[in-house]
Chain A
Amino acid sequence: MSTVPSVTEPRRSRTSRVGGSAAAPPRRPLSLVLPFDPVLALATLGICACSLVTLHTVSARGLPDGYYMKRQAIYFAVGLLFAAVLTRIDYSRLRELKYGFYGFIILSVVAVKFAGNDALGARRAIQLPFFSFQASELGKILLVVALAGFLVDRARALHAPSTTVRLLALAGVPAGLVMIQPDLGSSMVYGAIVLALLFIAGIPGRYFAAMGACFAILITGVVVVAPMAGVTVLHSYQTNRLTAFLHPNDNNSDIAYQQTQSRVAIGSGEKTGRGDRATQTSYNFLPEHHTDFIFSVVGERWGFMGAALVLSLYSLLIWRGLRALTVAKNLYGALIAGGITAMLLFQVFINVGMTVGIMPITGIPLPLMSYGGSSVITTFLAIGLLQSVYAQGRASTAGKGRVLGF
């Protein structure tokens, strides 16, 4: 809170011009400024509560009752601690560590490839004593912090194509490494993060158009040209998985099994849910309903009302993320807030979209709802950073009655 006295002076004129009535008595700074955003905190805790209530109904064969709920509660407690610490520190200092963070992403992802749990075609995690550490999850938040740092360094050259290319390359390396784990979902999140950062930083619109064109060519190449040329980039079952959601009724026996079951689960919840009479998720018609498909449990048990409540909490979270973006005291903070908000929005949309059958199955967890230590801790780190951006921004404008857009 004590880091920004120097910037208060030049802003006085502006804030008084934009600000409210000059007749208002001068506010006392400290009584006004909470050291964090209470709405953001409440939304986070609300989602956590929803997660625990949902996991309470999920039991797994051979595991004691409430196994997932208890473990998730522990992850929440640990995550909350991290978030509280991050809230209190000045995120701007993290910029100095961007090389370290970036190097750590690459190293940990490579380490997982070599030292990760073997006996698995996909190596995504390193087994630690208490939980398996999923490097690609932590990589999401580290990537935001590192890329935002790189972008700030080149803030004067945003219009140079080299900035965009460099950023894309920096994000492409970890995204590629994660994709060959294979963890397609996380690499997509990395892509969303870098695009959001570039957008917030304000690169020219034509660069986005160019990126879109390149992407279209690439997709065409992989899907149409490569098979014709006899090169297998995607195995047929991978293509099937990705496209199954487009025609759910064609092949609901095997390929789209999970998505069909998920849709049936959510649909059967109707307006108010089936409560304890829920069958789809209670009797394991839908596998993995404690992780990636937890939204189906909410939809079936508590119906549209429950699903809407959870979604509302997420929209609250996104709104407060965007608000943190606007109050940020500097570009670095704005980029971090924007990157995090985009990361959360992307994950929520893809995950929920997957459970309601409008997005392919990609293995992206629902932040804070899905059971899993790596994802929970990463999301809490993100929330903590958002709080830090917010708190720092508020502190720098505290007592000056600055009016914010929303």
Chain B
Amino acid sequence: MIDPVSPDHRPPVSPQLALRVAALGVVACVLFAVIFFRLWYLQVLSGDQYLAQAQTNKVRVEPLPAPRGAIVDRDGEPIVENRLAIVVKLKPESLPVSEKKAAALYGDAVIARSKRAKGRQGPPIVIPATPPDLQGRFARLSRTLQVKTRDIQSFVIRGLFLAGYAPVTIKTDVSEDVRTYIAERQDEFPGVSVETTFLRQYPDRTLAAQLLGTASQISPDELKTKEFEGVPAGSIVGQSGIERTYDQYLRGRDGKERLLVDAQGNPRGEGVTVPPKPGSDLQLTLSLKLQRAGQTAYGNVAGPNPGAFVALDPRNGDVLAMGSFPTFDPNVLVGNISQKKYDAIFNQGTTPQFNRVIGAHYATGSTFKPITAIAALESGKITTTEKIDDTGCIKIGIQQRCNAKHEVFGPVDMQNAIRVSSDIYFYTLGERTNAGPDAPHGGPIQAVARRFGFEHTTGIDLPGEAKGLVPDPAWRTRVGQEETACRRKKHIPDNASGPAAAAGGCGISDRRPWSIGDNVSLSIGQGDLQATPLQVAVAYAGIAEGGRVPTPRLGAAVLDDKGLPLQKLPPSGARRVKLDPSYRDTIMAGLHDAASAPGGTSTAVFAGWNQSRFPIYGKTGTAQVAAQPNDQSWYVAYSYDGPDHKRPIVVAVTVENGGFGAAKAAPIACRILKAWFGKGANVGATCVPGSNASL
């Protein structure tokens, strides 16, 4: 006989086993019976009661988030996209009053600090400590979400201060497991909600970061403004950049899902659902290819130096590329960022969020010279052919001024003066066009500069554009008066004017009156002139187009859900200003010589360039800036493809602390132009800094 317990040879069912199986069967029967009876009790015997309970469950309204529209470039390539993410939020109702009071106190302190003058603001306001009754809750959240308790407290305090009604985001991008974990433990996580929502995503990371701007939850103050009329609380709205300008198109409308219950507790029909309406996609005039090339070129040539570049279509003002440096990856601002990390990226004194193309005030250096030339020609102070002897140095007023590198160019007419960038020639023009005391708003230079867009915002579709300054006698007087008033207020002894007194004053002005030296400095884009890189590019577009000054724009079209234009955003137009064609031709000839003829300031940079097909009209600029060890490097270029002037482009580049124009800015502009015309256009130039680097 076979061993009864041998693993392979067991007689089928021994009585003992049968008994045990029967016992197991009985247990199963009992368990199933328990559940059946419980179900019978719940559903059949007490069903009415539970049905009534289910129907009196409160109205539940759940927002269905609508994605913001995507932003694409002129070829339809995405710049900003959306992605789904699971977000953990904390409802403010669940927080104790002490926490809300602490947030209010913190808010008051922050506002008070921001009202104090820069430099005297004192240390940053410290986030108050977590109250003891919240420590347990925050610690549990901290363990589950892997967020420091300190950071949770900081998010909560800042969130309550910014929008006290709205749930505070504690962490974005948690996993499905965390969602399940928290949802199953509502009792351990009071007030914590886990939602699926749309977040912005920037596939190209640092690309065009500043102009895109940010979108975040609408603040109580914004809710009250006309711009956001009818926008429900809690909506995500654009806060800066393109996101702000085109918010009405990009912003979707969140849907709602709710269950309506009447007074008797009976559902009135089904749950009412308002489907979410996604925002429209926006097409920009930007070319991602050119933008990438521009940022790469800037990074390679200028390194970490701050600065900016912009490329325009001079015909209609379409912005083809716009970069500001240092830049940042806007992905880090999506969701939550701890104060420490934020400070490490944004509060290092380099202001990466600042769009220097539209917001930075710079002296433009020699790139301003064409404006001076037009002003002198129009006012009859010079003709296109008159020569001025450049002896290397000139004494105007009390000041001796010389060419950079002490070069001597000899007698030069206007075309040659632009080619070699003769300071002496333009100093002379500045001297000749100085306004008399009877012209508070300056002479011809100021008038022409303003005509070509200096001291006016260009009207680009971005918030936060700076106006700049074209100095004139009236301005000098005004700042002088401001200084006087300030000194009186602060009881600073009102002694003699001049640099010595300026040091002890308010620092607004040295209170000296307008002098001829001011106008001479202005003639080469120095002194008190302040302009943005965009203004310079627009002015050159106006000159290249014979007096048609375009209004730059970034928004091209609003797209429907298939990516087809739903609504073309019309070009914002252009101003036609007076510009004698013969003056234009002389200046353009000079600019072309400067980039192509022997002795031209940027000829060396464009060595090997196919000038016959893609003629370059370029001007270097080298602006002295008191606070920088090196000069500010500038370059502006205009070019097009072939005799039909196809694909025209204006590029303006500036590099802070970059040295001569031909050293940094010109090579970057050269590379941008090379990328614009492409390899097929047979562009053969190395775009390396020229040895003949000059003004």
Q: Which residues of A contact B (CB under 8 A)?
A: 7, 10-11, 14, 60-63, 92, 95, 117-122, 124-125, 127, 132, 152, 155-156, 196, 199-200, 202, 237, 240-241, 254-255, 257-258, 263-271, 274, 276-277, 279-280, 282-285, 287-288, 291-292, 299-300, 303-304, 307-308, 311, 314-315, 318-319, 322, 325-327, 329-332, 334, 338, 341-342, 345, 349, 352-353, 356-358, 361, 363, 397, 402, 404-406
CB-contacts of B180-202 with A (<8 A): 180-181, 183-188, 190, 195-197
CB-contacts of B21-73 with A (<8 A): 21, 23-25, 27-28, 31-32, 34-36, 38-40, 42-44, 46-51, 53-55, 57, 60, 62, 64-65
Q: Does B607 contact A (CB under 8 A)?
A: no
A405→B18 contact, CB < 8 A: yes
B24→A200 contact, CB < 8 A: yes
For B177, give its contact among A120, A332, A406 (CB under 8 Å).
A120
A254→B187 contact, CB < 8 A: yes
For B259, give its contact among A200, A258, A283, A327 (CB under 8 Å).
A283
Q: Can you pick out 16 interface pairs between chain A and chain B where the beta carbons lie within 8 Å of each other?
A: A120-B178, A132-B176, A200-B24, A241-B185, A254-B186, A257-B186, A264-B54, A271-B43, A279-B55, A283-B259, A299-B42, A326-B12, A329-B8, A330-B7, A345-B28, A353-B38
B326 CB to nearest A CB, Å: 31
5 closest A-B pairs by beta carbon, nearest first, are A267-B50, A62-B196, A270-B47, A268-B54, A287-B183
Counting chain B residues whose Cβ lies within 8 A of the other chain, the interface size class is 35 or more
Enumerate chain B residues within 8 angstroms of A14, measured Cβ to Cβ: 11-12
Alpha-carbon distance A199/B32, docked complex (angstroms): 20
B46→A7 contact, CB < 8 A: no
Q: Does B398 contact A (CB under 8 A)?
A: no
B83 CB to nearest A CB, Å: 11
Enumerate chain B residues within 8 angstroms of A124, measured Cβ to Cβ: 177
A287→B174 contact, CB < 8 A: no
For A267, give its contact among B2, B18, B53 (CB under 8 Å).
B53
Enumerate chain B residues within 8 angstroms of A120, measured Cβ to Cβ: 144, 146, 175, 177-178, 181
Q: Does B225 contact A (CB under 8 A)?
A: no
B184→A121 contact, CB < 8 A: no
A200→B20 contact, CB < 8 A: yes
A120 CB to nearest B CB, Å: 5
Enumerate chain B residues within 8 angstroms of A61, measured Cβ to Cβ: 62, 64, 195-196
Given the contacts A63-B196, A121-B181, A122-B181, A330 and B8 also touching, CB distance less than 8 Å: yes
Alpha-carbon distance A37/B225, docked complex (angstroms): 72
Q: Which residues of B contact A (CB under 8 A)?
A: 1-2, 5-13, 16-18, 20-21, 23-25, 27-28, 31-32, 34-36, 38-40, 42-44, 46-51, 53-55, 57, 60, 62, 64-65, 84, 140, 143-146, 171, 174-178, 180-181, 183-188, 190, 195-197, 257, 259, 267, 270-271
B31→A266 contact, CB < 8 A: no
B108 CB to nearest A CB, Å: 33
A267-B49, A288-B180, A326-B13 known; 17 other A-B pairs, CB under 8 Å?
A: A62-B196, A117-B178, A119-B145, A119-B175, A132-B175, A196-B24, A200-B17, A255-B187, A280-B54, A291-B180, A299-B39, A303-B43, A307-B43, A311-B32, A329-B8, A353-B34, A404-B13
For A132, give its contact among B23, B177, B184, B271 (CB under 8 Å).
B177
Enumerate chain A residues within 8 angstroms of B11, measured Cβ to Cβ: 11, 14
B259 CB to nearest A CB, Å: 5
Which chain A residue has the least Cβ–Cβ distance from B140? A121
Enumerate chain B residues within 8 angstroms of A327, measured Cβ to Cβ: 12
B82 CB to nearest A CB, Å: 11
B7→A361 contact, CB < 8 A: no
For B60, give its contact among A276, A284, A319, A338 (CB under 8 Å).
A284
Alpha-carbon distance A152/B186, docked complex (angstroms): 45
Enumerate chain B residues within 8 angstroms of A329, measured Cβ to Cβ: 8, 10
Enumerate chain A residues within 8 angstroms of B21, measured Cβ to Cβ: 200, 322, 325-326, 338, 405
B35→A352 contact, CB < 8 A: yes
B18→A279 contact, CB < 8 A: no
Alpha-carbon distance A7/B11, docked complex (angstroms): 10
B84→A292 contact, CB < 8 A: no
Enumerate chain B residues within 8 angstroms of A291, measured Cβ to Cβ: 180
Which chain B residue has the least Cβ–Cβ distance from A293? B184
Alpha-carbon distance A263/B54, docked complex (angstroms): 10
Given the contacts A304-B39, A331-B5, A402-B12, A268 and B177 also touching, CB distance less than 8 Å: no
Enumerate chain B residues within 8 angstroms of A132, measured Cβ to Cβ: 175-177
B31→A349 contact, CB < 8 A: yes
B114 CB to nearest A CB, Å: 35
Enumerate chain A residues within 8 angstroms of B84, measured Cβ to Cβ: 62
